[in-house]
């Protein structure tokens, strides 16, 4: 029997499966190349159960997410093979996994790539798969849970409430869910990766665009699960263009992989202000960007003065407004970082913003 289950709402604070409904595939704006297709009855309709980051020090990284981003510890594991800490904020669960043996997958991952996303676990009603290779050294683990049960994984057990805070004080909690996951692919891998998601999982391409930044260029396609709870932005350097920021990631990371996680927030100005106070550092935006922003954007949910103050980028599509900002990479290789994003109806990714965001990343790399 085909797996058909969805999360009731993309931005609702829950992580349980509810009866399936048909997804409303609307046109996503003038930059979209997308035609609704007949729904694949065998499509794997999934949400993100958790994201695993293979790291060199699980407890230290978990403390950063608690102190800076407002996560709380919900489960821990300590075995001869690994140390793990699971942290949660609303609909987001991150597992910080540290290998304790040379042959542990997490140890091998960081030897090749440094700290980074090694698994995107998908929550489904009845898994047809256990683990699938996705791209680079990143996998998809399939997880089925009973509503209301404490969060756990093999070797990772729930912690008592009094154990979740430890000696640290969590930052204010603004994050709602994972809006999307950005993936950088080696040249020539984009179509093959798209085919994997379409044929194996029955997911669809909902957005595609070629992005040019000066003499550099990249191809971008977005795949999404039928319920819309999992969105992957796939990026590939364009053949014949000058090497750019995507090429730089691939070289430093050692191949294809997750470049950043985008966390949705209800109010980006409040979120960036509080995250900054808690120690999260953000990329800056040139003053010139804001000179005609009000004219370009029109009436906005956030005054231009506030956007300028916090270096937040703004854009608009047919459905509403979009606000975005990247964090500064704290990674030794300057490969992995986070994005904070607020959608006020917007369903696309803001073509103008994408260019400005990647220009900001390049300025950081040159600094």
214-257 per-position pLDDT tens digit: 788 899 999 999 999 999 999 999 988 889 889 999 999 999 99
- What does pTM read for this prediction? 0.86
**Average pLDDT of every residue of the chain:** 86
Q: What is the pLDDT of residue 168?
A: 55
Cβ neighbours of residue 96 under 8 Å, at least 6 residues apart? 53, 55, 58, 59, 61, 62, 65, 84, 85, 86, 87
266: DSSP letter: S
Contact 96, 55 (CB under 8 A): yes
Which has more pLDDT, 276 or 297? Answer: 276
Give me the pLDDT at residue 39, please: 53
Q: Is 276 exposed, middle or buried (0-12, 13-18, 19+ CB in 10 A)?
A: middle
The whole-number pLDDT of residue 164 equals: 52
Residue 55 has φ and ψ, to the nearest 5°, of -140, 165
> In the structure, what pLDDT confidence band is assigned to residue 21 with cuts at 50, 70 and 90?
very low
Domains belonging to the chain, first-starting first, are: 47-163 (3.10.180.10), 177-366 (3.10.180.10)
Asked if residue 162 has pLDDT above 60, the reply is no
């Amino acid at each position: 029997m085909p797996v058909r289950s969805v999360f009731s709402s993309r931005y609702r604070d829950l992580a349980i499966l509810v009866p399936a409904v048909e997804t409303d595939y609307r046109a996503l704006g003038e930059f979209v190349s997308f035609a609704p297709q007949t729904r694949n009855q065998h499509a794997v309709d999934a949400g993100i159960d958790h994201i695993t980051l293979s790291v060199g020090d699980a407890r230290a990284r978990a403390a950063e997410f608690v102190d800076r981003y407002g996560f709380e510890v919900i489960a821990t594991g300590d075995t001869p093979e690994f140390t793990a800490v699971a942290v949660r904020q609303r609909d987001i669960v991150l597992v910080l996994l540290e290998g304790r043996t040379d042959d542990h997958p997490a140890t091998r991952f960081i030897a090749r790539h440094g700290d980074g996303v090694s698994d995107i676990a998908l929550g489904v009603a009845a898994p047809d798969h256990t683990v699938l290779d996705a791209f680079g050294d990143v996998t998809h683990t399939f997880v089925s849970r009973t509503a209301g049960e404490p969060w756990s994984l093999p070797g990772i057990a729930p912690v008592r409430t009094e154990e979740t805070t430890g000696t640290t004080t969590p930052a204010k909690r603004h994050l709602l869910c994972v809006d999307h996951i950005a993936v950088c692919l080696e040249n020539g891998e984009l179509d093959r990766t798209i085919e994997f998601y379409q044929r194996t999982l029955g997911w669809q391409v909902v957005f595609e665009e070629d992005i040019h930044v000066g003499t550099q260029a990249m191809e971008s396609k977005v795949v999404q699960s039928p319920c819309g709870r999992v969105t992957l932005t796939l990026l590939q350097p364009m053949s014949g263009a000058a090497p750019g920021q995507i090429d730089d990631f691939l070289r430093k990371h050692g191949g294809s992989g997750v470049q950043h996680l985008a966390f949705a927030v209800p109010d980006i100005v409040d979120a960036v202000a509080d995250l900054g106070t808690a120690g999260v550092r953000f990329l800056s935006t040139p003053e010139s960007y804001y000179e005609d922003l009000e004219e370009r954007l029109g009436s906005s949910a956030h005054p231009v003065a506030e956007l300028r103050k916090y270096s937040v980028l703004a854009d608009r599509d047919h459905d509403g407004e979009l606000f975005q900002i990247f964090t500064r990479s704290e990674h030794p290789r300057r490969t992995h970082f986070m994005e904070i994003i607020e959608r006020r109806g917007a369903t696309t990714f803001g073509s103008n913003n994408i260019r400005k965001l990647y220009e900001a990343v390049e300025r950081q790399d040159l600094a």
